[in-house]
Structure 1
Amino acid sequence: MIIAGAVVQGTGHLAAGLGCQDAFKAVDLGATAVLAVADGAGGRERSALGAHIAVDTACRVLAEDIPDADDPPEVWTRWTVAGGARVVADYLRAVEGVLKATAPSEPVEAGALAATMVAAVVRPPWAAFVSVGDCFGTVLTRGPAGTGNAQREGERCHLVLPPPAPGTPGPVFLSSPGAALRVRTFVVWEPELSGVVLATDGCAALTLDHPSARELPPQAGPLPSERFFCGLAATLRANGGDAAPLRALLSGPQAARTGDDLTVLCALTEGS
């Protein structure tokens, strides 16, 4: 499996003298990959550390006792739900330990390390997702598209975990009260699964298309950009997973307009 990721500091953060508050981590288990990206809450003093704790925790927890590829859906669903609960609990314990060690005489305030996070376990034909907050996820598939003479082979992208719609309440953080009850977990079984891509919310403008781009009504919601996702997958397979082209995409002028930190992490099956 090809695993590649990149994080680029946002131009707005750079101009304000803020460090990058995103983080990502991946665990390569051969035919299986565990991915996690996190976005530290802007304005929180130690949110960058919180983001790193989040991805470390998610990868450690979700790399344990992964179901087999031929296990039934109920096994994958139970395992994913339990994993999501453990990620939140272990994150809070880790944050509390850090705060007590660095400021033992002060009240513990986990919100100082607030972060959103999405993680995925990719074991084709399964992809299991755990999410808290506004990061998003896309699945890639291979197979025939269309019917009759229009049928063609190709890779397609599917936004399975969209970012929140504009105007919705602010994101939930791993440190938010009741976060354990607001974890989103789900599994995807897809025999044509060819990849999973995770991204922080700053990447939305770069990687998602408005539905009008495909002559669809606004209520269709954001759509994954085939140019970005399928083009990126083809490039990474061709170069063996060198993340330099991904980093260049996240550093380009279109990405810079968001001002936010940008992080993309993917796992792709090999082959053309």
Structure 2
Amino acid sequence: MGGWRVVPVSVTGPEHLRQGTENQDAFAHLRLGDLTVLAVADGAGSAARSATGARLAVEAACDAASLLDGPDPGRSGRSAGARRYAGRVLGLFDRRLDRLIDETGGERGDYATTLLAVVARPPAYVFLAVGDSFLVVEHRGAGPHLLVPPDNGASRGSTVFLTSAGRDAAVRCGLIEDPEITGLALCSDGVLDAVLAAGRDAGGGPSLLAPADFTAYLHMFADRAARPAALSDRLQSPDFTASSGDDKTMVLAVRA
């Protein structure tokens, strides 16, 4: 896919397996011209139709990427494009959700979901994040870096979803330009405790970081002989299931 090997895996969390409920995460990936679109959404466990909300979210992230297709507009154009992309994704999600509610009933909160999306056109990467999914990138020779950390809404009292009243103020979007990025990992909140480590920020406060051994996830699939089932097995291993009862989703993309 546009110079990337994409490996998406989602497994139902042990708590949902015990309850007999569906996996409420969703993922999508798409090649569009020289763009590669990657998206992960994590439906809220407390929302009755969150799996549908997550599916609508990743579909909107892929469909909105047509806005960025075409000749490279240069840096200033790419920065403006990131903001337009975020607006297009949110607009598509809202319109489709409103139409679905008109047809089937329910309320917006029933479809609560987070969203993390990346549109890659190396060396430029547009990202959009709402909620507590997170993005780790691998730098050539420099290892993994937590580029978009999870936002659990601590400063606002709760996680913000695409359906939340205060969503627009909590949207994070931007442009990253880095020719040394060789891998991307979009992760739902369900894998946070298993793959991120506690650290300190520049001011000495508590923070999260991607430890050096995170590289193993991306390096695993630099070898084309490695199969996605290896990642699925890892996400269902005792270490992961003990860390969280939530569904677990990772979309890995490795430069081919």
Say whether the fold is shared (TM-score over 0.5).
Answer: yes
Cα separation, 2, equivalents of 1:102 and 1:241: 42
Q: Percent same amino acid at aligned positions? A: 32
User: Do residues 114 (structure 1) and 115 (structure 2) align?
Assistant: no
**Alignment match, 1:161:** 148
Is residue 54 from structure 1 mapped to residue 57 from structure 2 by the alignment? yes
**Structure 1 pair 241/82, CA: closer, same or farther in 2 (3 Å)?**
farther
> What is the aligned partner in structure 2 of residue 266 from structure 1?
252
Q: 1:82 aligns with which of 81, 84, 101?
A: 84
Measure, in 2, the Cα distance between the counterparts of 1:66 and 1:129.
15
Give the Cα–Cα distance (whole angstroms) in 2 for the partners of residues 82 and 119 of structure 1: 14
Give the corresponding residue for 2:45: 42
Deviation per CA, 1:62-117: give whole Å up to 9, x if none.
24333655x433211111111111111110111111121123xxxx5211111000
Q: Deviations over 1:121-173 (max 9, x none)?
A: 1111111110111111111111xxxxxxxxxxx35111111113695421111
Rounded Cα–Cα distance in structure 1 between residues aligned with 2:206 and 2:254: 27
TM-score of the superposition, structure 1-length normalised? 0.85
Matches of 1:189 and 1:39 in 2, distance apart?
Answer: 27
Q: 1:59 to 1:127 in 2, by over 3 A?
A: same
> Structure 1 residues 246, 31: closer, same or farther in 2, change over 3 A?
farther
Structure 2 residue 6 is the aligned partner of structure 1 residue 8: no
**TM-fit CA distance, 1:239:** 2.6
Say what the alpha-carbon RMSD is for the aligned residues. 2.2
The letter of the residue matching 2:228 is A
Match of 1:250 in 2: 235
Show CA shifts across 1:17-58 (max 9, x none). 321100000002475310000000111110000000100111
Conserved in 2, the CA contact under 8 Å of 1:4 and 1:266? yes
- Count of aligned residue pairs for this structure pair: 250
Give the gaps of 5 or more residues in structure 2: none
Aligned mates of 2:42, 2:160 — CA distance in 1 = 11
Q: Distance in 1 between matches of 2:142 and 2:35?
A: 20
Instruction: Map residues 65-214 of structure 1 onto 2, 5 A cutoff.
Output: 65-66=68-69, 68=71, 71-103=73-105, 109-142=107-140, 154=141, 156-164=143-151, 167-168=154-155, 169-211=157-199
The residue aligned with 2:211 is 225
The 8 Å contact of residues 132 and 152 in structure 2, kept in 1 or not, is answered as no
Superposition deviation, residue 178 in structure 1: 3.8
Distance 2:132 2:70 in 1: 27
2:229 partner amino acid: A
CA distance in 2, matches of 1:67, 1:181: 30
Is the aligned partner of 1:20 residue 2:20? no
- Relative to structure 1, the CA distance from residue 165 to residue 64 in structure 2 (aligned partners, 3 Å threshold; closer, same or farther) is closer
Structure 2 CA distance, aligned partners of 1:31 and 1:155? 26
Give the TM-score taking structure 2 as reference length.
0.90
Closer, same or farther: CA 67–159 of 1 in aligned 2, 3 Å? farther
Gaps of 5+ in 1: 143-153
